[in-house]
Structure 1
Amino acid sequence: MASLNVYSALVVLFLTCGAAMATKENDHIIRENNCKTKMALACVLEAFTSIFETGSISNKCCGELFVLGKVCHSAFVKRTLENPLFKDLSPATIIAKSIQTWNNCLALIDSPSPSA
């Protein structure tokens, strides 16, 4: 019985340390890449809504997301998923929506604009 308690304590410690390390890693990526200064708040909200809720992202904000870069985009999504407020969301679903939003924006950026 004592070994079960020790084992449980080790599992909890491992999971807690892993989550703390992931948070520090994402924070480091965000800080090192100066991610917080690359998008206007309105576009951050559009991107958030398109990933974590039901919404779309405008062409203008797709351009800002592209400038933000995939590394910053991924770090922000992962850090948001670590927030206890979002514990009930499916990480797999959110990651899929994040990739879909990125790919949709990339397609908009890569497609030639209609001529005037």
Structure 2
Amino acid sequence: MANLSSHVTALFIVVALVCAFVPAFSVEEAEAKTLWDTCLVKITPKCALNVIAVVFGNGTLIESCCHDLVQEGKVCHDNLIKYIADRPSLVGRETQYLKKRDDVWSHCVSISKTA
């Protein structure tokens, strides 16, 4: 039961982080919903938070999350990170975030091939 509670809490945190970057009356709202519905269901909330922390902060990648990320797929990973990086508060460093996104993807693919 505690495990389910921690998953629900982590999912709530992911949704809250995403909402913080999404304007309330966004034209892209339908696009965002599609991304979340098709992509975020393929990765655990813990790993989604970890990838976001690595790309947008100074987080350390949890290697066990690489499997989830590769399973999510490159298109989903690219689109989700790009969507977040396009937020007005982050767009000034978008190039840096997109490079980190690509570095995380390459690292995870190399780990997945050796596993």
Q: Give the TM-score, by structure 2 length.
A: 0.67
- Contact 1:77–1:95 (CA under 8 A) maintained in structure 2: yes
Aligned to 2:32: 27
- Contact 1:26–1:79 (CA under 8 A) maintained in structure 2: no
Aligned to 1:41: 45
Alignment of 1:1-116 (within 5 A): 23=28, 27=32, 30=35, 34-88=38-92, 90-111=93-114, 113=115
Percent identity (aligned): 21
- Contact 1:81–1:87 (CA under 8 A) maintained in structure 2: yes
- Alignment length, in residue pairs? 90
Instruction: Kindly state the Cα deviation for residue 26 of structure 1 after the two structures are TM-superposed.
Output: 5.1
RMSD between superposed Cα atoms in Å = 2.3
Mind listing any 5+ residue stretches in structure 1 that lack a counterpart? 1-19
Instruction: Kindly state the Cα deviation for residue 56 of structure 1 after the two structures are TM-superposed.
Output: 1.9
SS of equivalent to 1:84: coil
Aligned partner of 2:110: which letter? Answer: A
- Contact 2:66–2:111 (CA under 8 A) maintained in structure 1: yes
In structure 2, how many angstroms separate the alpha carbons of the residues matched to 1:66 and 1:100? 13
Q: Which runs of 4+ in 1 moved over 6 A?
A: none
Q: Give the TM-score, by structure 1 length.
A: 0.66
